[in-house]
Structure 1
Amino acid sequence: MAPPQQPPRTINRTTSDGGTIIFNKYHLTRLLGRGSFAKVYHGRSLIDNSSVAVKVIEKPAAEDPTMEPRLVREVAAMRRLNHQNILKLHEVMATKTKIYLVMELAAGGELFTQLTRRGRMKEATARFYFQQLVSTLHFCHQNGVAHRDLKPQNLLLDDKGNLKISDFGLSALPESHKDGLLHTSCGTPAFTAPEIIRGKGYDGAKADAWSCGVILFNLLTGYLPFNDGNLPNMYRKMHTREIVFPDWISKQPRVIIHKLLDPNPKTRMRVEKLMGLAWFKKSLKPDPAVEDDSISLNLIKCKTGVNAFDIISLSSGLNLSGIFEEKVKKEWWFTSTADAEEIKKTVVGVGERLGYGWKKMKDDVAGLVKGRVVVLVKVAEMVAEMVLVEVTVVDGGDGFSEGEWEELKVGFQDDVVSWHDDVQ
């Protein structure tokens, strides 16, 4: 089987309809929205004609000290969390001036737009969205991720009206915790738990539970429970739980909202308990199945010291490690189910055909040597029955021809599960 063709890295061109084709893979058409750091376009895949959303981030914005960690968190969280109610990230691509996040298209738009049009929702409708939100958050928390910026603007709808949680740029991954707590103040004030504002450390899952209480109130009333143009007044209302319920909210959701909006995180109702309540379970569909994606890999189960960028690199096109720096190396990565010894035998065989000598560097690294050209092949176990193989030209790279590179790739093709090519 021949290796998949990699698209040219920087070929973008304008079409007659005013759109843009990027990497010969996606046709960007109309603008769907814009934010402080990015624009989102409707895109069409030139491979299977499917519709996607493409977030375009200008390189200067990505280099902003506040934007870079947001981008890292968003990509890492979305690749970690494969769930039918979480917006799926297909791939990430980059040129020297732009970063492209190719994502699932949420054709139904923002839940906020639906709420604005309706004014408020019927209890059954609000519960339908609330069930999907809470169940999906429970999945996130089980995988060590707290969203930290939950609001109707970040809750999207697909073409069937199902919820899609998006914008994980402020999310907290397991490695963000210090002494079991988070310490970064972030989020939208009207939806942010009071303990985040205090800045003394907080539980991300409990903070998300607070946001769920605000969202449920918002869905049922059309307005916010603590809305006040004066921030100190709003925070005072939060700390004293000053909630005024309209007559049309029934007793059970009132109790749930009251318990979720407990300013004391120690006594606040947890998501797990909420999911066991009769009102929540009414007309509840079975929990969404978690999609199996053996290539993206659950970072919680990763046994080695590789970082988020390394894991992201396991899927074709998802290497962000060089986005923020100009230095470029010749390197190629792939994942394989072959064991380390089989990979090393392949290295020797391919090297001999290309006229390279073989040299063992250390236990997990083999070298192909010809004159000044040295090609290192490093094998690292990722999870059970899966290894990551990194091939890098580290010396005399100018003497390593493209033809040799392609022949080297062909030599490994039987061992490859997922490719990533970063040759420039």
Structure 2
Amino acid sequence: MYKVANPDIKYTVAAQVGEDAQGLMVVGQYAIVRELGHGSFGTVYLVKHAVTGEMFALKEYHKASLRKRLQSTTMNTTPSGRGGGPMRPGRGGLFAARQRLLQQRSEEDADPFSLIKTELAISKKLQHPNLVRLHEALNDTEQDVLYLVIDLCEKGPVQALNTGSATSEPIPPKDAHRYFTQALMALEYLHEQDIVHRDIKPDNMLLTKDDTLKISDFGESTLHDQNSDMVHGSSGTPAFMAPELCQNEGGVSGEAADIWSLGVCLYSFIYGTLPFQGDSVIEIMDSVSAGKLHFPDPANEQLNELLLRMLDSNPDSRITIAEIRKHPWVTQNGTFALPSKRSNCKNSVTAITQEDVDSVIQPIFDIMPVILAVAKLRRFRRRIREKRERLEREAQERDLLLSEGQSAVTVQPDDLQQMTEDTQPDASLALE
């Protein structure tokens, strides 16, 4: 029912949600096996494809949370009526913000995936062994939820930080080096596609069963102009944010900010703690801005020198990926060779443009079939719910009569047969 921009990713506009014979919740063709963890906008589940039996991760997005984020971004970036800059409470600024929010809601009505269209536009073009791949996007109209089916990374985050103490078990140096270089290759590939991740942290670095690191979560990612990597607005996790973002100085180099975040990850890998800490977001950002580094092992000179250059408070003099490639700690004094940039970026795709973002899914001229299908799905669910409630009431009345020694009200076999027929999936409800 929708024209899909990339056939490799499926889009299910009205996903059927129910239960299978084993009592597992089913979303589209995916049975939810168990919960894997929580994200900022919802839960991540382990799921099994009903036909192929293949295992995936299912990422849940509550639309209400996405709308709040979008509204917050709009209110913070909409120009005022007096000539631009951050929007202030004024007639022109508030009116412009309201108009933008109304337009966004209209876009959502026409395209149920509009709330994550940037993430979809980015994901559909990425082909790299160290990036999580998106397979399908599903829209649940009943629960106001979006689901993304992505690669399963069985071992989870590369490092689990204690949120209270900002500490974790250090990763053995050999493994830390391997994970860091894999993340570096993924970041080089992203930057080559003019994509800034903006939320690099261990939670977004996942390990497969064969110990391959994959960077995930492009919800905060952004596209920049081919001639400049400047991005606007603060985004990400405070402890991993570059100081120029904490200081809210307007446009900053997105690629330099990603390198800073990767440097914080490397510090955490080796030393099992974060370099910049505090008891509140303000204290953390003050610590980041101060930029004072302490190295638990001063003898590790090569590593510490690399960290100093990655965590340089001046983005203009901060080390680049090309320079990191040649660093002696990365090359292990010439004994370790990274793939060439040409080889690493061999799956380079056409540049992602704003047009790609706007046309991830292009609605057909006649939207009525989609509306009718959604309405049919809701009626289908309502019939199941009403039938179940009626049978439960009759069972309660039967039990009451039995307890009083009277004749029981029985559920007729025809009713049970009809309920079974009503709960059979209708293939026409899942529009892909």
- Confirm or deny a common fold (TM above 0.5): yes
AA of the residue aligned to 2:351: I
Map 1:232-381 to 2 at 5 A: 232-247=282-297, 250-282=300-332, 283-284=336-337, 286=339, 298-300=349-351, 306-310=355-359, 312-313=360-361, 328-329=367-368
CA pair 284-122 structure 1, distance change in 2 beyond 3 A: farther
- Contact 1:70-1:170 at 8 Å conserved across structures: no
- 2:167 matches 1:102: no
1:209 counterpart SS class: helix
Residue in structure 1 matched with residue 105 of structure 2 by the alignment? none
1:112 counterpart SS class: coil
AA of the residue aligned to 2:26: I
AA of the residue aligned to 1:43: V
For residues 9-61 of structure 1, the C-alpha deviation after alignment (integer angstroms, 9 at most, x for no partner) is: 443221243312222x2222211112342221111112321110111223434
Which of the residues 161, 167, 175 maps onto 1:125?
Answer: 175
Which of the residues 44, 48, 51 maps onto 1:44?
Answer: 48
Which of the residues 15, 18, 22 maps onto 1:13?
Answer: 18
Alpha-carbon distance in structure 2 between the residues aligned to 1:301 and 1:238: 32
Residue in structure 2 matched with residue 30 of structure 1 by the alignment? 34
Alpha-carbon distance in structure 2 between the residues aligned to 1:228 and 1:62: 28
Residue in structure 2 matched with residue 84 of structure 1 by the alignment? 129
Map 1:113-262 to 2 at 5 A: 113=160, 119-174=169-224, 181-200=230-249, 201-247=251-297, 250-262=300-312
Q: Which runs of 4+ in 1 moved over 6 A?
A: 4-8, 67-70, 114-118, 421-424
CA pair 114-159 structure 1, distance change in 2 beyond 3 A: farther
Q: TM-score, normalised by structure 2?
A: 0.64
AA of the residue aligned to 1:328: I
For residues 106-162 of structure 1, the C-alpha deviation after alignment (integer angstroms, 9 at most, x for no partner) is: 111111239999711222221111101111101100100111111111111011111
- Contact 1:129-1:163 at 8 Å conserved across structures: yes
- Contact 2:14-2:431 at 8 Å conserved across structures: no
Alpha-carbon distance in structure 2 between the residues aligned to 1:153 and 1:172: 19
Alpha-carbon distance in structure 2 between the residues aligned to 1:291 and 1:180: 21
1:196 counterpart SS class: helix
2:270 counterpart SS class: helix
Q: TM-score, normalised by structure 1?
A: 0.65
1:159 counterpart SS class: coil
Shift of 1:172: 1.4
- Contact 1:19-1:30 at 8 Å conserved across structures: no
- Contact 2:11-2:138 at 8 Å conserved across structures: no
1:306 counterpart SS class: helix
Alpha-carbon distance in structure 2 between the residues aligned to 1:233 and 1:6: 43
Gaps of 5+ in 1: 314-318, 332-420
Shift of 1:251: 0.6
Shift of 1:79: 1.7
Alpha-carbon distance in structure 1 between the residues aligned to 2:280 and 2:224: 34
2:34 counterpart SS class: strand
Which of the residues 115, 119, 138 maps onto 1:74?
Answer: 119
Alpha-carbon distance in structure 2 between the residues aligned to 1:146 and 1:157: 21
For residues 157-188 of structure 1, the C-alpha deviation after alignment (integer angstroms, 9 at most, x for no partner) is: 0111110101111111126x997521111111
Residue in structure 1 matched with residue 403 of structure 2 by the alignment? none
Alpha-carbon distance in structure 1 between the residues aligned to 2:310 and 2:280: 23
Residue in structure 1 matched with residue 62 of structure 2 by the alignment? 58
AA of the residue aligned to 1:300: A
Aligned residues: 313
CA pair 44-291 structure 1, distance change in 2 beyond 3 A: farther
Residue in structure 1 matched with residue 4 of structure 2 by the alignment? none
Could you say which structure has the greater relative contact order, defined with CA pairs below 8 angstroms and 6 or more residues apart? 2
- Contact 1:147-1:172 at 8 Å conserved across structures: yes
Alpha-carbon distance in structure 2 between the residues aligned to 1:80 and 1:281: 30
- Contact 2:43-2:59 at 8 Å conserved across structures: yes
- Contact 2:241-2:260 at 8 Å conserved across structures: yes
Alpha-carbon distance in structure 1 between the residues aligned to 2:46 and 2:430: 27
Shift of 1:284: 4.3
2:230 counterpart SS class: coil
AA of the residue aligned to 2:367: V
